[in-house]
């Protein structure tokens, strides 16, 4: 089985279901690491990407009620918030000395908000004239606003693009298994709608990312089904830039062990042969596990982020540009700053 898998990988052939099960369940972790690292190396040598970005979560008020969510609040709950335009613009102005290139904007499904809030927000951000790339709104948020406005997904995306949207993040995919969605997030859009929104965005010229949330009691088969659906979508619309394996957290931290996390990263690298980048999301993994993940197929660690509320509950520790580069370099890799479209930034 292993030699057949290696042969398929060498010929850039998609792995089949049986081979994917073997990688998740049978192969020794160190052997898996070696293969994933070789594939990563074949794609982008010893380079590990990072960027200068700022995360902004305009509101945590959400009607979603996903059981794994540590971020959302009901409108009347303590700590529920909705930021004004000025508060968001001030956040950006406060950190502009970091020379950020991207704002990553995602939030809750706040019933008080209309699409107009984001249209104007994007216009105001562009008016700052800081050449910021706006990566914003998960597929469930796009779906929420399209339904509220009674317009199609395509019309909704076109309006957002006109106001300054430059790409989509990969959140809201969770895990595509209907069984898990019923248990944890029954009101969330199903897999086919998530994929359709990304396909439409790709058709309109936007790039996007993809994610998979694990730690929800998913089976190996459910993880493979999720990855295969992403791989098929990429074959059709070619717009995914990176895949980000996410891990469910509770108040104490990650639900998965380090070994499970590393295996998910490595197998994703091997199954998603048509994805250029696999991200070790430093905010969730912490610095040490992120360094380790670079040997398991990951080639990106996200960026400066600056502020994070979704998984870290405000406990995210900011590290600056020099510390990010050091983290990559001391692992033995070459650190390359990229923009939001994975173009290298010349210093
Ligand atoms: S995961 Fe997203 S949609 Fe679900 S409750 Fe949290 S903020 Fe709302």
User: pLDDT digit string (tens) for 64-118?
Assistant: 989 999 999 999 999 999 999 999 999 999 998 889 999 999 999 999 999 999 9
Query: Bridge partners of 245?
Result: 212
Better pLDDT: 12 or 222: 222
pTM of the predicted model as reported, rounded to 2 decimal places: 0.96
In whole angstroms, what is the distance from residue 173 CA to residue 215 CA?
14
In whole angstroms, what is the distance from residue 141 CA to residue 160 CA?
12
Whether 278 is in the pocket of ligand 1, judged by its Cβ within 6 Å, is no
Task: Tell me: pLDDT of 249 over 80.
Answer: yes
Superfamily in which the 19-337 domain is placed by CATH:
Aldolase class I (3.20.20.70)
pLDDT, one tens digit per residue, over 137-181 is 999 999 999 999 999 999 999 999 999 999 999 999 999 999 999
Half-sphere exposure of 338 (CA within 13 A, CB side): 19
Distance in Å, CA 103 to ligand 1 centroid: 20
Task: Tell me: pLDDT of 315 over 90.
Answer: no
- Nearest to residue 161, comparing CAs of 203, 190, 193, 192? 203
- Nearest to residue 216, comparing CAs of 177, 264, 248? 248
- Nearest to residue 230, comparing CAs of 222, 221, 240? 240
The number of residues making up the chain comes to 347
Whether 61 is in the pocket of ligand 1, judged by its Cβ within 6 Å, is no
Mean pLDDT of 310-329: 82
Structure tokens at 85: 């335009």
Point out the ligand 1 atom lying closest to the alpha carbon of residue 185. Answer: 4
How sure is the predictor about 253, in pLDDT bands with cuts at 50, 70 and 90?
confident
Point out the least confidently predicted range of 28-32, 42-46, 217-221, 302-306.
Answer: 302-306
- Atom 8, ligand 1: which residue's CA is nearest? 64
pLDDT at 130: 94
pLDDT at 313: 62
Is there a contact between 241 and 208 (Cβ–Cβ < 8 Å)? Answer: yes
Strand order in the sheet with 277-278: 53-56, 102-105, 133-136, 167-168, 207-214, 240-247, 277-278
Task: Tell me: pLDDT of 314 over 70.
Answer: no
Point out the least confidently predicted range of 105-114, 196-205, 246-255.
Answer: 246-255
- Atom 3, ligand 1: which residue's CA is nearest? 64
């Amino acid at each position: 089985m292993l030699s057949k898998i290696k042969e398929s990988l060498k010929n850039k052939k998609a792995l089949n279901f049986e081979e994917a099960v073997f990688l998740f369940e049978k192969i020794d972790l160190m052997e898996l690491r070696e293969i994933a690292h070789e594939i990563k190396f074949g794609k982008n040598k010893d380079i590990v990407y990072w960027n200068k970005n700022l995360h902004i979560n305009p509101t945590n008020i959400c009607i979603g009620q996903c059981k794994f969510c540590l971020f959302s609040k009901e409108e009347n709950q303590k700590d529920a918030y909705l930021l004004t335009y000025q508060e968001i613009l001030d956040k950006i102005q406060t950190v502009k000395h970091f020379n950020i290139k991207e704002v990553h904007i995602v939030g809750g499904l706040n019933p008080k908000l209309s699409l107009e809030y984001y249209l104007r927000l994007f216009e105001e951000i562009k008016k700052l004239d800081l050449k910021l790339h706006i990566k914003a709104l998960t597929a469930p948020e796009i779906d929420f606003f399209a339904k509220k406005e009674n317009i199609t997904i395509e019309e909704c995306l076109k309006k957002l693009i006109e106001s300054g949207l430059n790409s989509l993040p990969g959140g809201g995919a969770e895990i595509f298994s209907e069984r898990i969605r019923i248990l944890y997030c029954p009101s969330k859009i199903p897999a086919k709608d998530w994929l359709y929104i990304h396909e439409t965005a790709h058709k309109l010229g936007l790039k996007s990312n993809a994610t998979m949330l694990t730690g929800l009691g998913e089976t190996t088969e459910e993880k493979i089904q999720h990855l295969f659906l992403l791989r098929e979508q990429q074959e059709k619309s070619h717009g995914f830039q990176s895949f980000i394996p996410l891990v469910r957290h509770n108040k104490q931290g990650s639900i998965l062990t380090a070994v499970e996390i590393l295996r998910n990263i490595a197998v994703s690298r091997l199954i998603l042969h048509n994805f250029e980048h696999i991200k070790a999301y430093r905010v969730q993994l912490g610095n040490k596990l992120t360094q380790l993940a670079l040997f398991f197929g990951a080639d990106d660690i996200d960026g400066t982020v600056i502020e994070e509320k979704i998984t870290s509950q405000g406990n995210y520790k900011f590290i600056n540009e020099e510390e990010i580069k050091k983290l990559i370099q001391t692992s033995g890799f070459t650190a390359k700053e990229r923009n939001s479209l994975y173009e290298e930034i010349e210093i």
